Amino acid sequence: MADTRPIGVFDSGIGGLTVLREIWRACPNEGTIYFGDNSRTPYGTKSASTVTRYSLQNLKFLETFDVKMIVIACNTASAYAYEAVAKAAKVPVVEVITPGADAACRATSNGKIGIIATGATVGTGVYKNAITARAVDLAAEGINSSALSDIKIFQKACPMFVSLAEEGWWDNEIARLTAEEYLAPLKACGIDTLVLGCTHYPLLTRVIGEVMGPDVKLINTGVAVAGTVQDILDKNAIASDETDPVRKFYTSDDPAMFEQVASPFLGQGLPSGTLHVTTDRYEV
């Protein structure tokens, strides 16, 4: 029997839309409730305790819609708050780091993997640890073992990318100059795979790709996350068969501004009907 309950997705702003779009592509029959915490963005400059509190408040809000799954479409929240959210939630919870690490390990040819993320995510070392662990597992299985036997990981914090994404400055000279400055050290290291370790960063894919060049594979974690979501739907027999699934949007900031920035990316006349909500009223 089909389960038409929606999937709840949250991020600190519009970056999680890069994950949402991939979920729509992989699971077109699934309804979604998206919450962008734009008034409290960026999460990358907040403490672990603050991000955890925000994430638990976001969870409580999404649970009011009787969601069947929660997707933490934010790398910082995944790094700091996944365990707390997974413990508090009554449904499966998907984070973005583990799927991204797996994709990077499978993609590299020379074993040199770069990670760009917020300062908070880089500081936790969560991506580096996840990639290192996954490389060991895959190599033991004989998967891409020649590249993964001597893996080298290089990290770079790129905090201004979040601001550029939120402003809608995805492909202009300011974005290009910023990318050149941030990415120069990673280019010098000879990486062949670059993890976009913040869900805002795929909005800057064109600029990042131009700066890094055609030989560097960019890992959009949203694609990997969507695959994980599909697996959970299938394994738990909770997939929907809706032909016109619900797609609702909420933001903690100005809805009109949210839609103005987000609509060129999502297309299809979406988001529309975005509503304002304040999640800090939820006690955690």
The catalytic site residues sit at 74, 198
The 3-class SS string of the chain reads CCCCCCEEEEECCCCCHHHHHHHHHHCCCCCEEEEECHHHCCHHHCCHHHHHHHHHHHHHHHHCCCCCEEEECCHHHHHHHHHHHHHHCCCCEECCHHHHHHHHHHHCCCCEEEEEECHHHHHHCHHHHHHHHHHHHHHHCCCCHHHHCCCEEEEEECCHHHHHHHHCCCCCHHHHHHHHHHHHHHHHCCCCEEEECCCCHHHHHHHHHHHHCCCCEEEEHHHHHHHHHHHHHHHCCCCCCCCCCCEEEEECCCHHHHHHHHHHHHCCCCCCCCEECCHHHCCC
